[in-house]
Amino acid sequence: MAGAIIENMSTKKLVIVGVTLLLFQALSFMVGGLIAPGPTTAINYLATKCVDTTKNKQESKWFMPWGPNHCQKISTFEEAVAKRIEANNIVFAVHIPMQGKEMSPWFQFMLVILQFDILFKMHNQIEDGAVVTIDVSLAYRDDLYSEWTEMARSFERRNLNCKFSFEKNLGSQDRQYECDPLPFMEVGSVAHKYYLVNIRLPVNERKKVNIGIGEIKDIHLVSIHQNGGFTKVWFAMKTFLTPSILIIMIWYWRRITLMTRPPVLLEK
């Protein structure tokens, strides 16, 4: 008898197929809700202010915020002024992940957002349309005692979008601007265990580089990556469902070929 596959199935078989599909759907929801962790994790890193004491600025040197070979640090820019350290000699260093942790390829990707803490100063306010120029370099390694390998280096410009909720007078000095987070970088695959970010804010008054951006107090990096546990559950479900779909397709095509008429376009 010519007709669609579903029309030739008995009521019992149709009920079995429908109930099986509903059970698989319910099981998938339960796995996602009860077993799998949250899809992503966001970690806030406070950059360490390192002092670049190298005389040859052409050398490639990496500044570590902690560990046996950690950099020479300062806590505030007032300390830098007291020690006569120029802004061009300050490097903001961030190690990803935190001490005692390591990254994993199960994290899939790493998205990093930049956040400035900028203080209000009467003599150094943020100008309209202010643009910050950052000299950023990224390195990686897979062992705590190996040398850092450069992964990327770039000069980037970002528009500052900040507002000040107080009156701009002497009484409001050292209050903080409210600045929007800035896109910083994205790593498409987390193939290494440790990453090191070094950020410089070069100042050049003649070329108007990083002039009129206010007094930067601190730099925060927010790292967002996919949770390894979520990736494993997701991968396991895909591994299970892909062969199941193939088996269903083979069964369906076998039923099609057993019919006395040739298959129609929609069935193909």
**pLDDT in the model for residue 236:** 86
Mean pLDDT to the nearest integer, 253-258? 84
Report how far apart the first and last C-alpha atoms of the chain are (Å, whole number): 19
Res 7 pLDDT > 70? no
Share of the chain above pLDDT 90, in %: 44
d(CA 5, CA 102) in angstroms, rounded, equals 53
Mean pLDDT to the nearest integer, 127-132? 90
**Is the whole model's pTM more than 0.75, yes or no?**
yes
User: What are 66-86's pLDDT values in tens digits?
Assistant: 988 889 999 888 888 888 888
User: What are 21-54's pLDDT values in tens digits?
Assistant: 888 888 888 877 777 788 899 999 999 999 998 7
Yes or no: say if 109 and 186 are a contact pair by the CB < 8 Å rule: yes
Tokens of 78: 């007032």
Report H helices in the chain.
5-8, 11-30, 77-82, 228-257
Strands 162-163 and 149-159: unpaired
User: What are 91-115's pLDDT values in tens digits?
Assistant: 999 999 999 899 999 999 999 999 9
Closest CA to 186 of 90, 101, 107, 133: 107
Res 1 pLDDT > 60? no
Q: Alpha carbon of 82 to those of 75, 76, 77, 79, 175: distances in Å? A: 12, 10, 9, 5, 22
Yes or no: say if 62 and 153 are a contact pair by the CB < 8 Å rule: no
d(CA 154, CA 186) in angstroms, rounded, equals 13
